[in-house]
Structure 1
Amino acid sequence: MYIGLDLGTSGVKALLVDGAQRIIGSANASLEVSRPHAGWSEQNPQHWLDATANVLEQLRRSYLVETAKVAGIGLSGQMHGATLLDAADQPLRPCILWNDTRSHEEAAALDADPKFRKLTGNIVFPGFTAPKLAWVKAHEPDIFAATRKVLLPKDFLRLWLTGEHVSEMSDAAGTAWLDVEKRCWDASLLDATSLDLSHMPRLVEGTEVSGKLRPELCARFGFENAPVVAGGAGDNAASACGAGTVAPGTSFISLGTSGVLFAANESYLPNPESAVHTFCHALPGTWHQMGVILSATDSLNWLSGVTGSAPGDLTAALGAELKTPGSATFVPYLSGERTPHNDAAIRGGFCGLSHQDDASALTQAVLEGVAFAFRDNLEALKAAGTTLTRATAIGGGSRSRYWLKAIATALQIRLDIPAEGDFGAAFGAARLGLIAATGADPVAVCQPPEINETIEPDAALTDAFDTAYQRYRALYPALRGVSQ
C-alpha cells in the first residue's frame, strides 16, 4: 500500500492506493489562509501538521488493515512558500505563500541581476521564495537573523514526518535559488539574498527516498513498518505524474484555483522573457515548462460570491452548446498575473457591459476570460519553443464541459478528459511513493489514464473566438494604465 499526501492551499488530501495503483480510500482536512494586509497571504505551518495528522488518522480508522501495510509515502505541495525555521526547527513566523505579492519590489531588484535568469531560466516572480526572504530581511530583520533553515511547505511537512531537512528538484526550482539545468543549489544566488548553503535542505530527485517515517508516527497511525518517504514534487509536477504527463510532448491543462498549462520536456528549454516557468520535473533527467494564471476557478468562485449562485449553477445556466462570445469581456487578473505579464499590481475587470447583460452573460464572459488567459499561456509556450496540439484536462473546473469547449476553441487544441478517477497531485504523490519504495521504472508507473472523452475545438466559432481574444489582449495595456 502507498499514500500520497497533497498539501494544498485550501486543504490537505491523503490518497491510499495499492500496488496496482487502485484507489482504496481518501481523506481530506481543510486549511484557512490569513490575509492580514493587502497583497499578503499566509498560513500557520502548525496547521499543516494538524491537518496531515487528521487525514492520516481518518485513513487509519477507515482502512486499518490496508494502512498497516503502507510501504511508501509521497509528498506533493503548494510551491514557493517561505517557511522560516530557527535553530530548534520551530517556525519563526507564518509561512508566506505562493500567492503573496508583498515582495514585488524585491523580486524586481533580484530579477535585474542577470545571473538569476541565466541560472534559473526564469523571471524572479514576486511569488517565488527568494524575494520573500529579501523582504523579511528588509522588514523583519530580527526574524531573518534568527533563520537557520528555509523550507518549502511540503518539506516542512517532511521534516515532521521524517526528521530530515530535504527538498526535491521540482519544488526547489521555484525558489530562484536553484541552478535548474544542473539541478543543484547555487551559492551565488543564495548570497544575493544573504543566505548560504547551510540554510538550504539537501536535494533528492522526486522518485528517491528522502527518509523514513519516524517510529512514533508509525505507532500513532498504525503502520507496521516504517514507510519510506519519497522526494515527491511540487503540486504541478505531482499532478503531471498523476496525469501521466511525463513523456516529452505530453501536456495537461489544470483548472484549479490557479490555472496551469503544463508541458513535459526531455531537455532544459528556458525562455524567461516569455514569462513561462521552466522547472525540473519530478522524474530524474527531465524538465517541464508551464504557463500560470493566478485566478482560474477563483474567478468563477468570485462571481459566485457576488451573485449568490453556486459555481455549478452558473455554468449549468449556459446550457450545453458553446455560444458565440458576447460583447462583455472579463479579464481575470483578480490577484495580478504571472504568464505572460509578470504583473503583481494589475487588476481585473469587465469591459463592454450593456443593459442586456444578465448573470449568464457575466458567467460566459468569466469562462471566456479564463480561456483567453490560457491562450496567452499557449502563445508564451510557443515563444519558448513548445507547440501543443492536445492536453489532458484536470482540476475541479474541468467538470464543466462548457468551459472545456470554450478553452479548446480559444486555444485550437484538443482536450482529453480522463475516465472517472482521481489523477491529481495526491495520486501523483502516491505514484512517487510507490517508485521510491519499490525501485519501479518511473515512466512505467506514471502512465496516462484512460481517456473517456475528447473535446474538439468548435470550428464554426473559431473566427469569433479569435476576434474576442484580440479584444481581450487589448485590455491589458488599458488596465495597466489605471491599476498602478
Structure 2
Amino acid sequence: MSHLGIDIGTSSVKAVLLDENQTLVAEGSAALAVDRPRPLWSEQDPEAWWTATEAAVAAVRAAAPKAWGALASIGLSGQQHGATLLDAEGRVLRPCILWNDGRSGAECRELTERVPDFTKRASNIAMPGFTAPKLLWVAKHEPEIFAKTAMVLLPKDHVRYRLSGDTVSEMSDSAGTLWLDVAGRRWDATLLDACGLSERQMPRLVEGSEVSALLSETVAASWGLSGRRIPIAGGGGDNACSAVGIGATRGGDGFLSLGTSGVIFVATDHPVALPERTLHAFCHALPKRWHGMAVALSAASALSWIAGIVGASGDIGGLLARAEAFVADPVRRAHAPVFLPYLTGERTPHNDPHATAGFAGLTAEHGAEAMAYAVIEGVSFALADCLDVLVAGNAAPTSCMLVGGGSRSAFWAQLLADATGLTLDVPQGSELGAAFGAARLGMLAAGGTEDAVCTKPPIKRSFAPDAGQKDLLAERSARMRALYRA
C-alpha cells in the first residue's frame, strides 16, 4: 500500500508518496504565485491550487506508477487562514485572501467591539491574518460577494472539495479562523454571528486523523484509479502537519520552521492561551491534543527577497556562504548592519500589519554579504521574540527540531540556536515537512496506529547555542527592537 500527502503551500504545492514503511517513493511539486494588487493585499486564485495539485500528483504518478496503483489514502495539509468563498453552486466568488494579507486591521477592532469576550471565546487575539476579519472586510467592501457566500473554505479544504465534492475541515486549520471554540473543538455560534455568518456556511468538522471524504469517481478515473474509493484524511494546517511529520505529538515536543514564514510550534496536552502576547492557541491535528504557536511573517522569504535585490536569486547558497565568511571576523560581525525583518508586517509579538522592514547602520564598506547576514540575523531575532511569548504562556518546548527549507543551511541553523538559546535538532527528511505529515494522517485514517505511524525521525545534526556569541547577539537584538519602537 502507498499513501499520498499533499501540501497546499503559499509558494508551491508539494506531493509525496510513501510506502507502508513511510519510505519516500516519489515526490512532485508545482510553483504558485502570490498576487499583491494593492498595498497590504495578498491573494491567490484557488484554481491555481487545483492546477498545481494536478501537476504535482502527475509527477508522482509518472515517477512511481506501480506504487501509485496501490494508493490506500490521501492526506491534506495547507497554508492556514485563507478565505475561499463559494456560492451555492460551489463556484469561487473571488480570489482567496491569504494568511499574510493585512487589509483588515479595522475589522479586527470591530470584531472585538462586537464580542466583548472575543479573545476568551476564540483563545486568540483578532489579527488581520486570520480568517474572520477578512469576511468582515468582504461584507463591508464587497457586499455583493458577501451576499452570495454560501460556504467559506480554507485552502486545503477547497482542494478537498475538488477531490471529493464534500465540504469538510478539521480542528487544527479551523482553529485559525477565529470561529472555533478551541477547547471544545466545535464552531462557536457567537463568533460566527459577529461576522454575519452561521454554521450552515461552515464545513463539517472532523479530526485530522479521521476519514473526511472519499476521492470522487471522476477524479479517481482521471488519476488512473478507476473503481477505487480512496479515503481522504481530515489532514491539518501546515504547521500541525509538519509536527505530525516529525513526531511532535506529545506535550513539550516542538519545532522551529524556516519556510516562507517562521514558526515556533509546541504540542500541548491541554489548551494554552496568551492572546494579549499574540500566542496562537490552536488544536493539534490529532484528537485531544492542542498546540501553542508563535509566527514571524517573514523568514526564508526575507532571504529570497534580499537575494533578488542583490542579484543572487540563482545562488542563495553562495550568498549565504559569503555572509558566513563576512562575519567570521568578530569585528565585522559587531559592526554589520541591523535589519528589521517586517517585510509583510508582523504577527508575533507585535500584531502590526503596518510594520515595515529596514536596515540601520549601513556604511560604504557593506556589500551584499553584509546585507544578507543582517537579514538572516534579523529573522533569527524575530524568532527569539516568538520564543519569549511561548515561554510567557508556559508553552516552552522541551525539545525542538528545525525544519523547512531554511534548515538546509548549517550557518543559519547555528545562528538560530545562538539567538534563541534553543538546541535545534535537524531531522532526516526535514525538507519534506507538511506533506509528509499529511501522508501520515492519511495512514492513520486508513487504519494505522499513532504509536506506529507518528514516530520521530533520526537526527541528522544538532546545533547547540554558542555561549561565546550571547553578549554580542543580545546587544544587536536590542538594537533591532529599538529600531522597531523608533
- TM tier, shorter chain? over 0.9
Tell me the residue number matched to 2:286: 283
Change (3 A) 1:254 1:53: same
In terms of mean alpha carbon deviation, does 74-83 or 414-423 score higher? Answer: 414-423
Letter in 2 for 1:15: V
Which blocks of at least 5 consecutive residues in structure 1 are unaligned? 479-484
Per-residue displacement from partner, 1:76-129 (whole Å, max 9, x unpaired)? 011101111001000011111111111111012213433221111111110111
In terms of mean alpha carbon deviation, does 403-412 or 54-63 score higher? Answer: 54-63
Letter in 2 for 1:174: G
Q: Could you tell me how far 1:370 is from its partner in structure 2?
A: 0.7
In terms of mean alpha carbon deviation, does 385-394 or 411-420 score higher? Answer: 385-394
Q: Could you tell me how far 1:387 is from its partner in structure 2?
A: 2.5
Tell me the residue number matched to 2:196: 194
Letter in 1 for 2:476: A
Q: Could you tell me how far 1:466 is from its partner in structure 2?
A: 1.4
Tell me the residue number matched to 2:234: 231
1:130-169 equivalences in 2 (<5 Å): 130-169=132-171
Q: In structure 1, how many angstroms separate the alpha carbons of the residues matched to 2:7 and 2:472?
A: 40
Q: Could you tell me how far 1:284 is from its partner in structure 2?
A: 0.3
Q: In structure 2, how many angstroms separate the alpha carbons of the residues matched to 1:115 and 1:234?
A: 26
Tell me the residue number matched to 2:74: 73
Q: In structure 2, how many angstroms separate the alpha carbons of the residues matched to 1:136 and 1:323?
A: 52
User: Secondary structure of the equivalent of 2:320?
Assistant: helix
Tell me the residue number matched to 1:205: 207
Q: In structure 2, how many angstroms separate the alpha carbons of the residues matched to 1:323 and 1:242?
A: 38
In terms of mean alpha carbon deviation, does 138-147 or 384-393 score higher? Answer: 384-393
Tell me the residue number matched to 1:117: 119
User: Secondary structure of the equivalent of 1:71?
Assistant: strand
Tell me the residue number matched to 1:292: 295
Alignment partner of 1:43 is 2:44? yes
Change (3 A) 1:323 1:367: farther
Q: Could you tell me how far 1:353 is from its partner in structure 2?
A: 1.8
Q: Could you tell me how far 1:420 is from its partner in structure 2?
A: 4.6
Q: Could you tell me how far 1:441 is from its partner in structure 2?
A: 2.1
Tell me the residue number matched to 1:470: 478
Of 331, 340, 345 in structure 1, the residue corresponding to residue 349 of structure 2 is 340
Alignment partner of 1:31 is 2:32? yes
RMSD: 1.4
Q: Could you tell me how far 1:389 is from its partner in structure 2?
A: 5.2
Of 220, 223, 227 in structure 2, the residue corresponding to residue 221 of structure 1 is 223
CA contact 1:243–1:423 (8 Å) conserved in 2:
no
Of 456, 474, 477 in structure 1, the residue corresponding to residue 464 of structure 2 is 456
Q: What number of residue pairs does the alignment pair up?
A: 477
Which blocks of at least 5 consecutive residues in structure 2 are unaligned? none
Per-residue displacement from partner, 1:190-239 (whole Å, max 9, x unpaired)? 00000001000010000000011011211111226221000000011111
Letter in 1 for 2:91: Q
Q: In structure 1, how many angstroms separate the alpha carbons of the residues matched to 2:270 and 2:406?
A: 31
Q: Could you tell me how far 1:317 is from its partner in structure 2?
A: 1.0
CA contact 1:45–1:95 (8 Å) conserved in 2:
yes
Per-residue displacement from partner, 1:138-173 (whole Å, max 9, x unpaired)? 011011001100111111111111111100000000
Tell me the residue number matched to 2:378: 369
Q: In structure 2, how many angstroms separate the alpha carbons of the residues matched to 1:341 and 1:208?
A: 36
Q: In structure 1, how many angstroms separate the alpha carbons of the residues matched to 2:197 and 2:230?
A: 33
User: Secondary structure of the equivalent of 1:447?
Assistant: coil
Alignment partner of 1:255 is 2:263? no
Q: Could you tell me how far 1:398 is from its partner in structure 2?
A: 1.2
Q: In structure 1, how many angstroms separate the alpha carbons of the residues matched to 2:9 and 2:75?
A: 14
Q: In structure 2, how many angstroms separate the alpha carbons of the residues matched to 1:388 and 1:200?
A: 33
Per-residue displacement from partner, 1:335-369 (whole Å, max 9, x unpaired)? 10000000000101111222222222212211111
In terms of mean alpha carbon deviation, does 307-316 or 285-294 score higher? Answer: 307-316
Q: In structure 2, how many angstroms separate the alpha carbons of the residues matched to 1:231 and 1:35?
A: 30
Change (3 A) 1:323 1:462: farther
Q: In structure 1, how many angstroms separate the alpha carbons of the residues matched to 2:230 and 2:175?
A: 26
TM value normalised by structure 1: 0.96
Per-residue displacement from partner, 1:2-35 (whole Å, max 9, x unpaired)? 0001011111111000111011001111112111
TM value normalised by structure 2: 0.96
Letter in 2 for 1:318: A
User: Secondary structure of the equivalent of 2:177?
Assistant: coil
Q: Could you tell me how far 1:443 is from its partner in structure 2?
A: 4.1
Alignment partner of 1:393 is 2:402? yes
Tell me the residue number matched to 1:314: 319
CA contact 1:389–1:414 (8 Å) conserved in 2:
no
Letter in 2 for 1:271: L
CA contact 2:404–2:430 (8 Å) conserved in 1:
no
